[in-house]
Amino acid sequence: MAAFLAELEFALKPIKIGVLGLGTVGSGTVNVLKRNAAEIARRAGREIIITRASAKDLTKQRLCDTQGIVLTTDPLDVINDPEIDIVLELIGGAGVVKDMVLTAIANGKHVVTANKSLIALHGNEIFAKASEKGVIVAFEAAVAGGIPIIKAIREGLSGNQIQWLAGIINGTGNFILTEMRDKGRNFDDVLAEAQALGYAEADPTFDVEGIDAAHKLTILASIAFGIPLQFDKVYTEGITQITRTDVEYAEQLGYRIKHLGIARQTSEGIELRVHPTLIPERRLIANVNGVMNAVLVKGDAVGATLYYGAGAGAEPTASAVVADVIDIVRALTSDPENRVPHLAFQADSLADIPLLSSDRFNTAYYLRLNAEDKPGVLADVTRIMAAHNISIEAIIQKEPSKGETAVPIIMLTQITLEQEMNAAIADIEALQTVTGKINRIRMETLG
């Protein structure tokens, strides 16, 4: 009887949440948890309430209603509060925040985080500590904002061998490329707008140099292939070198340029790469515009599957945070051994599969070079390509720009080893008749 009553009391007791950070995502999460409280309680089987929150500056105007929440500037007041069951880490960054999360775990608290750099850089250690303590660290919001891509790969596709995945996983970058293509706007203008809308990272070079996408790809690859998190092995290239000229030529050839994170399992190992990519405009993912994200996942049983939604912003990200909170509440009474593993595969079954260096990548290419307009130039270029075993798919010569004598030549190649392409580019750039550097963009059919 006493045990039954204790269980009943546990079932009726509200779950108490502490929030670290009341910025864009923190405020969005408070709003969603409050607005949908009744619906959330019906799903979780328990009332979920926010009791404490920390923010750097308490005088700042908030975008959420903090009534009923005890505010503090010290995150430790939240982390060390014995009443709190789940800590939401919504500060971001991988420095001091790592210690906060480890302290929360040591205090026996479950953690929900939207922090991709924290998970990509320190996830192996954090999950090991969480497993020792029997607590959950949930991170759905860390990848692709509101799209439940972690749950889809970790649970929905768990019967498959994942062959590859490719995603538009940085909303700011996609917003910039879309505005450049559709409206001819310049890079800096669009970036400033993305910052004002709260999409961009605190350091926006993380968005435009591909670091944010590399963090997210690290996480996706780990749960797709059952490998430890290895951010330092991701080949990363940003969008700052993309010009309107290339966007227009790509379009004339039936392609769009998208900034993709690609993870592919090959017989030699795994390719992990983030770079601008030409993709056929007829693919659904080529038509994902603005701040929207999309991830294409190919499993051996299911085939290709596509997940689409808002990749950044207050409430889309809050949607993922709150879903994690509900998952944790539902799992509270389960045996920690029988919960969904943090990285989809049992921790002692993660595989040591080699991650390939970029010269071992296999991909097709778009090349743009400037050459003299005289007999034999194209013959020289194609001879070099043949010598490196590179098959040309298409080649076109454009009109020279006003006042220029050199003509732009655009080439599309078939799939080739990157090492061969690097050597071919060096040989072509060394020709007397070719001026300047060759602009190269990788190309994928995603078929």
Least Å distance, CB 123 to ligand HSE, is: 16
Q: Counting beta carbons within 10 angstroms of the beta carbon of residue 67, is it exposed (0 to 12), middle (13 to 18) or buried (19 or more)? A: exposed
Sketch the per residue contact string, 369 through 388, with ligand HSE: x for CB under 6 A, - otherwise: --------------------
344: left (phi over 0), alpha (psi -120 to 50) or beta: left
Residue 286 token pair: 């080529």
Cα atoms found within 13 Å of the Cα of residue 377, Cβ hemisphere only:
19
Q: Are 279 and 285 in contact (CB under 8 A)?
A: yes
What is the distance between the alpha carbons of residues 13 and 44, in angstroms, rounded to a whole number?
12
For tokens 């009943």, name the residue: 8
Any catalytic annotation for residue 98?
Answer: no
Number of residues that bind ligand HSE (CB under 6 A): 11
Binding test (CB under 6 A) with ligand HSE, winner from 226, 309, 311, 408: 311
* Residues 166-195 within binding reach of ligand HSE (CB under 6 A): 170-172
Nearest to 171 by CA among 316, 313, 291, 320: 291
Nearer to ligand HSE, 15 or 322 (CB): 322
Stretch that binds ligand HSE, among 30-38, 200-208, 298-306, 370-378 (CB under 6 A): 200-208
Least Å distance, CB 248 to ligand HSE, is: 25
What is the distance between the alpha carbons of residues 285 and 446, in angstroms, rounded to a whole number?
9
Element of type H or E holding 9: helix 2-12
For tokens 């971001």, name the residue: 92
Which residue out of 216, 233, 398, 402 is catalytically annotated? 216
Least Å distance, CB 112 to ligand HSE, is: 15
Residue 207 binds ligand HSE (CB under 6 A): yes
For tokens 């990848």, name the residue: 143
Binding test (CB under 6 A) with ligand HSE, winner from 40, 224, 312, 320: 312
Nearer to ligand HSE, 172 or 416 (CB): 172
Sketch the per residue contact string, 129 through 168, with ligand HSE: x for CB under 6 A, - otherwise: ----------------x-----------------------
Rg (CA), the chain: 25
Residue 124 binds ligand HSE (CB under 6 A): no
Catalytic positions are: 216
Q: Give residues in contact with ligand HSE (CB under 6 A).
A: 145, 170-172, 199-201, 207, 212, 311-312
